[in-house]
C-alpha cells in the first residue's frame, strides 16, 4: 500500500451507486424478501437482465457460503449502497478462477475486498490476488475482513490509480478482473489483453449497464460517455481474434474472455 486516497473517486462512486440503487434491485441479494413474478418497472426503462425471481433463486443456491465475514461485507454494501458484485456473481467469479486453475489474479477496482474475497478462495494457499483501489480506507477494510477469514496473506492491495498499478506490476496473470469506473473500460481492455496468460481469463462486471447498452437513445444518467465506453469495450472483446468470449447476463452482465492458447 502506498499512495494516498483519491478523493475524486468518492463523488463518482456515490453518484453511480445512487442511480443503481434507485433503479434496480439492491446490490446484494442474499436474504432479500421474495419478489413478485413480474419484474418491477425501473426509472429510465432500465432492465434487470435476469428475471428477479430467477435471480433470487440463484442466490438461494449459494447459501452454503454464509459465514459471518461474508454476511457482514454484504450488509455493509446494503447499508452504504456500495456496489459490490454480490453473492451470485461472487460465486461465479470463484468458479471461473477455479476453472482455469488461477494462482495469480489482478483486480482493477477492488472496493473493500468483496470480489477479492471470492478470488482469494480460488487461488488457494500460495496464490495471490493483487487488489487496487483509489481509497486507502477500502484497503484497511479489506484487510480487516480478509484477515478474519485467514486469507489476507493471499492479498497484495495497492492504493492508487488501478491502471497505473497495473502497468507497474509484473504480469502475466491467470485472471484479470475489471470493475473500475466504466468510462475507463476500453483503456483497461487494451492494457489487459496482452497480459492475460494464454488460456487465462479477462473478466469485467457491469457490461450490460442495466440495459443501457441496448437502448436506441443512449441513457448516460450516471456519467457522460460511460454507456458508449462499455459498448466499445464489449465490441472490441467480441471482435478480438485472440480471445473467445461470452457475456453472461447475470445481475448487470459479466463478460468473460479466454485468451486462446
Ligand atoms: C464497483 S466498485 C468495486 C467493487 C468490488 N469489485 C466488489 O465487487 O467488491 C469500484 C471501486 O473501484 C474504485 N475505482 C474506480 N475506478 C478506479 C480507478 N481507475 N483506480 C482505482 N480505483 C478505482 C472505486 O473507488 C470503487 O471502490
Segments making up each domain of the chain, as ranges: 8-259
Kindly provide the b/e burial profile for residues 20-39, where b requires at least 16 CB atoms within 10 angstroms of the residue's own CB: bbebbbebbbbeeeeeeeeb
Ligand 1 neighbour 181 (Cβ under 6 A): yes
Cβ burial of 201 (10 Å; 0-12, 13-18, 19+) is buried
Q: Which fold has domain 8-259?
A: Rossmann fold (3.40.50)
Ligand 1 neighbour 86 (Cβ under 6 A): no
- Ligand 1 atom at minimal distance to the Cα of residue 116: 9
**pLDDT of 90-130, one tens digit each?**
999 999 999 999 999 999 999 999 999 999 999 999 999 99
Among protein residues, the one with the nearest Cα to ligand 1's atom 7 is 84
Residue 209 CA to ligand 1 center (angstroms) comes to 15
Ligand 1 neighbour 179 (Cβ under 6 A): yes
- Ligand 1 atom at minimal distance to the Cα of residue 85: 8
Which among 97, 115, 246, 109 has a CA at the least distance from the CA of 175? 97
Which residues 6+ apart lie within 8 Å of 83 measured at CB? 13, 16, 17, 20, 27, 77, 111
**pLDDT of 26-82, one tens digit each?**
444 444 445 455 555 565 668 888 998 999 999 999 999 999 999 999 999 999 999
Residue 69 CA to ligand 1 center (angstroms) comes to 20
**pLDDT of 121-148, one tens digit each?**
999 999 999 999 999 999 999 999 999 9
pLDDT of residue 231: 97
Amino acid at each position: 500500500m502506498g499512495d494516498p486516497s483519491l478523493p475524486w473517486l468518492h463523488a463518482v462512486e456515490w453518484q453511480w451507486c445512487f442511480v443503481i440503487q434507485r433503479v434496480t434491485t439492491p446490490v446484494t441479494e442474499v436474504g432479500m424478501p421474495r419478489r413478485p413474478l413480474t419484474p418491477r418497472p425501473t426509472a429510465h426503462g432500465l432492465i434487470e437482465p435476469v428475471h428477479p425471481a430467477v435471480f433470487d433463486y440463484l442466490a438461494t443456491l449459494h447459501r452454503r457460503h454464509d459465514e459471518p465475514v461474508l454476511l457482514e461485507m454484504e450488509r455493509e454494501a446494503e447499508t452504504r449502497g456500495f456496489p459490490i458484485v454480490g453473492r451470485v456473481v461472487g460465486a461465479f467469479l470463484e468458479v471461473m478462477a477455479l476453472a482455469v486453475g488461477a494462482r495469480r489474479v489482478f483486480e482493477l477496482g477492488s472496493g473493500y475486498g468483496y470480489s477479492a474475497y471470492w478470488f482469494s478462495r480460488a487461488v488457494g494457499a500460495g496464490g495471490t490476488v493483487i487488489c487496487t483501489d483509489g481509497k486507502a480506507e477500502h484497503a484497511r477494510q479489506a484487510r480487516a475482513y480478509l484477515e478474519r477469514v485467514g486469507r489476507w496473506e493471499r492479498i497484495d492491495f495497492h492504493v492508487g490509480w488501478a491502471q497505473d498499478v497495473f502497468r507497474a506490476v509484473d504480469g502475466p496473470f491467470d485472471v484479470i478482473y475489471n470493475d473500475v469506473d466504466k468510462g475507463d473500460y476500453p483503456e483497461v481492455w487494451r492494457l489487459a489483453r496482452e497480459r492475460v496468460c494464454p488460456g487465462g481469463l479477462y473478466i469485467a462486471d457491469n457490461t450490460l449497464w442495466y440495459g443501457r447498452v441496448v437502448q436506441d437513445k443512449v441513457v448516460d444518467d450516471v456519467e457522460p460517455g460511460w454507456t458508449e465506453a462499455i459498448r466499445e469495450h464489449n465490441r472490441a472483446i467480441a471482435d478480438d481474434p485472440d480471445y473467445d468470449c461470452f457475456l453472461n447476463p447475470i445481475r448487470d452482465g459479466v463478460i468473460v474472455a479466454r485468451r486462446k492458447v
